[in-house]
Structure 1
Amino acid sequence: MSLTLTLPDLPPALLTLVLQQPDPDHAVGVAALATRCAPALGLDPVTTYLAGWLHDLGKLAVPQDLLQACRPLTVAERLMVQAHPVEGESLVRKAWPEVPVEIVHAVRHHHERLDGRGYPEGLSSLPVLTMLIGAADVYDALTHDRCYRPAVGVAAAGEVLRDLALSREVVEVVLKCGSLGSSGSRSSCGGRAPLAGQCGGDPVAQ
């Protein structure tokens, strides 16, 4: 499905931050995937695109050597990385005071899970948009090359996503839409760092 979007006029300060974020390709990838999913989930495509585009903005506040680290992170380092959703909310609110609340929620809570084991607040109830951005985030990270591991295929990504504590409907829509998109060739070292194990450690929990 091809969607033509007309984005609102965004504050220049916000656009500057978007252009500076560590992994702009991942941000666009998540935004594009989530937007393809939006009609099936009854979501507004423009709001969905913006939530995906801004979801990792808080990684501007994380030292880049941690985002690019090809080693396990210490507990302190992990906490620094896991602070990025809260930092992202703060950056978005400051740069865009009129930001829709749905976007703010997705930025702050895209790492939350329905079992209460996500972060930053351990929520167990999440709106559809937030779950969509969370699932699209994981899917895009898995299906594109990272500096510490190659991309995985759609089937392997599906196994990971179906194990996430997110709405099955949201996950299945992401897998369906994701299978129609591109994967593999985009390489990035800026978006994730393995939290445990070896250089190829699974990044999706971050």
Structure 2
Amino acid sequence: MLKYQRLNMLVMEMLAWHEMLYYHTVTTAVYAEAVGRTLGMQDKELEWLIQAVFFHDCGKITWPLALVSKTRLSDDDRKLVKVHPITGEYYLREYWPDMPDPVCRVVREHHERPDGSGYPNGLKNREIHPLSVIVAVVEVFTALLEHRTYRDRSFTKAEALAELKRQEFPGEVIRVLAGVGEVVIGKVVGI
């Protein structure tokens, strides 16, 4: 995927915008690859999963940097947050003109939820691409393990898995995540 020089530029923009965005992306990609392989994905499907998860949050680079450190979001802030999947899709299409459609869908759908409570389109169940569901689970899991300004502390792995169950994410993906070792700056340890 990084054969396009412009994609390398997008990666560098993500890193320059905020280091944590880059590390979140790398960590989430490593977890997603482990989940995809455990679920038996191969070839194109696994490649699409990894590509999509790597760029799932690229739309955030359009945010004012101050948004990252806020402990409470205003209504306007929330509106801006909820368009990053659409913005990310546009950015990715600009940087990667022949992006595979499944990658595009995952970037756009990674905040959709089976019950329809997600964004940007409020999709439900089978309307959401299966790869988008995996990315959603892994992305939430990774975010829970990370420090965030709006929380007092990070979740433990057990707490994060329990939260995924509470949010009614697919049990199969949660079980696979439970078996994945800790990811430290893009490296899986303890498998």
Secondary structure of the corresponding residue to residue 182 of structure 1: strand
1:175 equivalenced with 2:187 (yes/no): no
Distance 1:48-1:13 versus aligned 2 partners, 3 A rule: same
> Structure 1 regions of 5+ residues with no counterpart?
1-7, 187-206
TM norm structure 2:
0.84
- Higher helix fraction: Structure 1 or Structure 2? 2
Secondary structure of the corresponding residue to residue 134 of structure 2: helix
The equivalent residue for 1:107 is: 107
Contact 1:85 1:107 in 2 (8 A): yes
Contact 1:128 1:170 in 2 (8 A): no
Secondary structure of the corresponding residue to residue 28 of structure 1: helix
Shifted more, 109-118 versus 139-148: the winner is 139-148
Question: What are the superposed Cα offsets for residues 136-160 of structure 1, whole Å, 9 maximum, x if unpaired?
Answer: 1111111122345332111110111
Question: What are the superposed Cα offsets for residues 154-206 of structure 1, whole Å, 9 maximum, x if unpaired?
Answer: 111011111224322222222322xx1236x99xxxxxxxxxxxxxxxxxxxx
Secondary structure of the corresponding residue to residue 147 of structure 2: strand
TM norm structure 1:
0.78
Misfit runs of 4+, over 6 Å:
none
Contact 1:113 1:123 in 2 (8 A): yes
> Structure 2 regions of 5+ residues with no counterpart?
187-191
The equivalent residue for 1:196 is: none
Measure the CA separation in 2 of the matches of 1:80 and 1:9: 28
The equivalent residue for 2:40 is: 42
Residue of structure 1 aligned with 2:169, choices 166, 180, 187 = 166
Contact 2:37 2:46 in 1 (8 A): yes
Q: Percent identity?
A: 30
